[in-house]
Amino acid sequence: MMSDLELATFVEGTTRYFEATANQAATVGSPYLVQNGKPTVHEFTGMISIAGKRRGVVYFTAPRPMLTVLLMRMGETELTEENMADLVGEVANTISGNARRDFGKDFMISVPQVVAGDTDRVTTPDNVRSFVIPINWRSHAAQLVVCLE
């Protein structure tokens, strides 16, 4: 089970990402444990596999409207599926990279795997419960899902 301190690493990484990238802070809701079924998945998801001392997956999932506004805030004029896919991968990678800094070299992260549309391809390990960190930015809602044993 993850400790509050470990979860805080992901919460802080998320808020820092939005402050740095969009020059506008995101608010983070209270993390919660998924009781039944799978966590929410939006149109675009950036997944990072975790190996080493902790094993599992971390993913950032966001709806198209949020990514569109985020790309515009970053000065991007090409609001393509490809750029949205790149963006969710970058968010997941940045947050996981920050966590790696806190957790140390035994926290090994993969390159992001991006899923656009096909939500069935977003999976979490069956034997581990997922924490969902709700992310609200402007009028949009996304999630960071942390599923580590």
- State the greatest distance between any 2 C-alpha atoms of the chain, in Å, as a whole number: 42
What is the percent of the chain with per-residue pLDDT over 70, rounded to a whole number?
Answer: 99
CATH number of the structural domain spanning residue 13: 3.40.1550.10
The pLDDT of residue 58: 95
The pLDDT of residue 85: 96
pLDDT at 1 over 80: no
The pLDDT of residue 10: 92
Distance, in Å, from the CA atom of 122 to the CA atom of 115, rounded to the nearest integer, reads 7
pLDDT band at 6 (very low <50, low <70, confident <90, very high): confident
pLDDT band at 40 (very low <50, low <70, confident <90, very high): confident
Tokens of 96: 């996981």
Domain count, the chain: 1
Is residue 99 within 8 Å of residue 57, measured between CB atoms?
Answer: no
Residue 86, domain extent: 4-148
Q: What is the pLDDT of residues 44-98, one digit of tens each?
A: 999 999 999 889 999 999 999 999 999 999 999 999 999 999 999 999 999 999 8
Distance, in Å, from the CA atom of 44 to the CA atom of 41, rounded to the nearest integer, reads 8
Q: Report the chain's mean pLDDT, rounded to a whole number.
A: 92
The contacts of residue 8 (CB under 8 Å, 6+ apart) are: none
pTM: predicted TM-score of the whole model, two decimal places: 0.93
The pLDDT of residue 79: 96
The pLDDT of residue 25: 86
Tokens of 110: 């993969």
